[in-house]
């Protein structure tokens, strides 16, 4: 059984929980209270070597790569079952570690477990093709595992993101070394221990923890790693690319965003207003696909802004462990300072404060990294707040005139992760969906993906797709086998005379 009450969290290498070889640790802190939660093992490069070696041995030795797909299915379902069985404790652990509202964290872990089940089922359905070839030849393809995959994960959806990568990686027969974010390492460690309980062979799932700039970079550059699957900031994504480019190792990248919600004058505001509120303030705005730019058509602009502000002011901000809380703390006091600086910058550039912009009045929240959900109205798309990813509870609201301008402004971003359209005009919905340059478009729907629906970005939002069967493609190599099946020996130079 998993231990959720301990105050020391180990590395998990080759199915063994062990401290870092140096004995070093770093602190895990609850950002809602400042309370010290636990000490996490701080891996040395030699620990990373050991984790990669264990994953290599499981892969090369056939321990995992050659298990039959049915066995992979059963083990993945078993792990999912253990996650469901420990759902409440895992949610509590993660809510304390990242300060997010427990109702949100719980839903995310459920989503992660569901994605694991999706890929558990997919392990037995990996298919190849036969292709047209000249008479006397047969060509078929199959998809094979890539090898050892490094899964590098951010703090905003810790366990969900880990499971999102783990499912397709393992279903396809790869072995993994997981590097969780330092601010949210505990749930990945517990998950790996549950995987040992489920019966995964040694070396299949390894977890190393420690500073990204040190051991994350070391892992990404490790010659024993065949693929890096990274989710995080665009900036660190560039370091990952640098780490893999020399020897062309495989990589997929889920990066940042500045995703727009487009609210047309014909929208049903009873859906669009709460939808837009949810899609920026869920997870206190710390979502890669947060709809942080809200583009509103001029005739309904004033009405929208006042309804948006009124509904935002009613959000329940507070103790992450209270099941009624809707918006918890930010990941750290330092991160809050960065978000507050953006708000000040937006106001200095001419935006108007529609709601929020301050810390909660409740003295009980004073030692936590809280910030009231904030809306900056009358923004223009050239402002820094409208261009850069703030990654906090700050909505930028911009007026637009007509569909053409809405599309142009929506696409005027270095990012292209997601967009929402709010309209009752079906033709417009599909027309605009086709014109938006992003990997995901939701129509009359704030966001959320389901197991099976592709997720990933255009432009600087990344490379590759997750959540759907496309992720299996990204965790496999395509092999083409060409067979000569003619009656006479193959002799292209005519050497047989
Ligand atoms: P981050 O700073 O990029 O860190 C992500 C992960 O990379 C962490 O595990 C981090 O470890 C590690 N890391 C840091 N520097 C590294 C390096 N030089 N080499 C290798 N690994 C390194 O991102 P974050 O601050 O945790 O998360 C916020 C970002 O993630 C936002 O930009 C957000 O948009 C993005 N995100 C994208 C998606 C998506 O699906 N597109 C989903 C969620 C989040 P440490 O924690 O130890 O630094
Ligand atoms: Mg970071």
Let me know if 341 is exposed, middle or buried by CB neighbors in 10 A (0-12, 13-18, 19+). Answer: exposed
Under 8 Å between Cβ of 286 and 104: no
Question: Which residues is 18 bridged to in the sheet?
Answer: 11
| Selection from 202, 203, 166, 209 nearest residue 47 by Cα | 209
Angle between helices 402-411 and 426-435 (to 10 degrees): 30
Under 8 Å between Cβ of 436 and 446: no
Mutate which of 181, 253, 291, 439 for ligand 1 pocket (most atoms within 8 A of beta carbon) = 181
Rounded to an integer, the average pLDDT of 124-139 is: 96
Report CA(451)–ligand 2 centroid distance (Å).
27
Annotate 377-416 with b (16+ C-beta within 10 A) or e (fewer): bbbebebebbebbbbbbbbbbbbbeebeebbebbbebebb
Q: Name the strand (E) or helix (H) holding 479.
A: strand 476-484
d(CA 466, CA 452): 9
Residues with a CB atom less than 6 Å from ligand 1 = 152-157, 179, 181-183, 211-213, 216-217, 220, 231-233, 236, 239-240, 254-257, 288, 389, 391, 417, 457, 461-462
Tens digits of per-residue pLDDT, 156-209?
999 999 999 999 999 999 999 999 999 999 999 999 999 999 999 999 999 999
Q: Work out the percent of the chain whose per-residue pLDDT is above 90.
A: 97
Ligand showing the shortest atom-to-Cα distance for residue 252: 1
Q: Whose CA is nearest to atom 11 of ligand 1?
A: 212
d(CA 308, CA 353): 12
Ligand showing the shortest atom-to-Cα distance for residue 285: 1
| Selection from 98, 29, 34 nearest residue 367 by Cα | 34
pLDDT of the residue at 447: 87
Tens digits of per-residue pLDDT, 70-118?
999 999 999 999 999 999 999 999 999 999 999 999 999 999 999 999 9
pLDDT of the residue at 250: 98
Report CA(140)–ligand 2 centroid distance (Å).
44
pLDDT of the residue at 5: 87
**pLDDT over 80 (residue 334):** yes
pLDDT of the residue at 82: 98
């Amino acid at each position: 059984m998993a231990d959720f009450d301990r105050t020391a969290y180990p590395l998990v290498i080759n199915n063994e929980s062990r401290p870092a070889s140096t004995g070093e640790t770093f602190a895990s802190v609850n950002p809602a209270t400042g309370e010290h939660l636990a000490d996490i093992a701080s891996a040395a490069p030699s620990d990373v070597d050991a984790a990669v070696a264990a994953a290599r041995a499981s892969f090369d030795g056939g321990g995992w790569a050659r298990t039959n797909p049915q066995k992979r299915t059963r083990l993945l379902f078993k792990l999912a079952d253990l996650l469901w069985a420990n759902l409440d404790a895992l949610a509590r652990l993660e809510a304390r570690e990242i300060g997010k509202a427990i109702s949100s964290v719980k839903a995310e872990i459920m989503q992660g477990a569901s994605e694991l089940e999706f890929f558990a089922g997919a392990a037995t359905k990996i298919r190849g093709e036969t292709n047209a070839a000249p008479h006397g030849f047969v060509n078929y393809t199959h998809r094979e595992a890539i090898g050892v995959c490094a899964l590098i994960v951010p703090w905003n959806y810790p366990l969900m993101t880990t499971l999102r990568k783990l499912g397709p990686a393992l279903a396809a027969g790869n072995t993994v070394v997981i590097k969780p974010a330092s601010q949210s390492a505990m749930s990945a460690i517990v998950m790996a221990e549950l995987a040992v309980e489920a019966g995964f062979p040694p070396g299949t799932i390894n977890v190393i923890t420690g500073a990204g700039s040190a051991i994350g970079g070391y892992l990404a550059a490790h010659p024993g790693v065949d693929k890096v699957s990274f989710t995080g900031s665009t900036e660190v994504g560039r370091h990952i690319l640098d780490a893999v480019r020399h020897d062309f190792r495989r990589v997929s990248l889920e990066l940042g965003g500045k995703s727009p919600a487009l609210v047309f004058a014909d929208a049903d505001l009873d859906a669009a207003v709460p939808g837009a509120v949810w899609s920026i303030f869920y997870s206190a705005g710390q979502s890669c696909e947060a709809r942080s730019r809200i583009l509103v058509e001029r005739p309904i602009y004033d009405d929208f802004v006042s309804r948006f502000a009124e509904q935002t002011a009613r959000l329940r901000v507070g103790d992450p462990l209270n099941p009624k809380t809707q918006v918890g703390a930010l990941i750290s006091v330092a991160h809050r300072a960065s978000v507050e600086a953006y708000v000040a910058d937006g106001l200095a550039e001419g935006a108007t404060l529609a709601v929020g912009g301050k810390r909660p009045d409740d003295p009980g929240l004073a030692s936590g990294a809280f910030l009231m959900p904030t809306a900056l109205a009358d923004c223009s798309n050239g402002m820094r707040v409208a261009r850069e990813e703030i990654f906090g509870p700050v909505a930028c609201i911009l007026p637009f005139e007509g569909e053409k301008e809405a599309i142009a402004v929506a696409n005027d971003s270095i990012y292209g992760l997601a967009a929402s359209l709010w309209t009752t005009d079906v033709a417009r919905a599909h027309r605009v969906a086709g014109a938006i340059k992003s990997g995901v478009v939701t129509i009359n729907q704030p966001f959320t993906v389901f197991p099976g629906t592709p997720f990933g970005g255009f432009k600087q939002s990344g490379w590759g797709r997750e959540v759907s069967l496309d992720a299996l493609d990204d965790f496999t190599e395509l092999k083409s086998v060409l067979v000569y099946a003619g009656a006479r020996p193959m002799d292209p130079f005519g050497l047989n005379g």
